Structure 1
Amino acid sequence: MSIIQKIKNKILWQNSKWYEKYIDKQIRILKKIAAYNGVSKVAESIDRVYIEKFIEDNKQYIKGTVLEFKGTENYAHRYTGPRDKIRYCAGLKYYDIYKKFKDINYFFELEDISTYPKEKFDCIIFTQCLPYFLDPVKILSNVVTMLKPKGVILICSDMFSKNIPEAPFLTYITEQGLKYACSELIKMRGGGLIAIKSYGNINSALRNMLNIKRCNLTEYHNDYSSNYPVLITAVYQK
Structure 2
Amino acid sequence: MLPSVSSPRAAQKGFTGMQVLLLLLVTVIITVGVSFLVIRTYIFPKPLTPVTLNGKEAQKLEIKLQQLGWQGGSQTHAKSTNQELTPEPYRESDAKRQVSFSEKEVNSIIGRSPDFAHRVAIDFSDNLASAKILVPIPQDFPIMAGEILRVNAGLDIHLDKNHRPVVALVGVSLMGVPIPNAWLGNMKNVNLVSEFGDRGFWNTFADGVEDIQIRDGELYIKLRQ
The normalised TM-score by structure 1 is 0.32
More helix per residue: 1
Bigger Cα Rg = 2
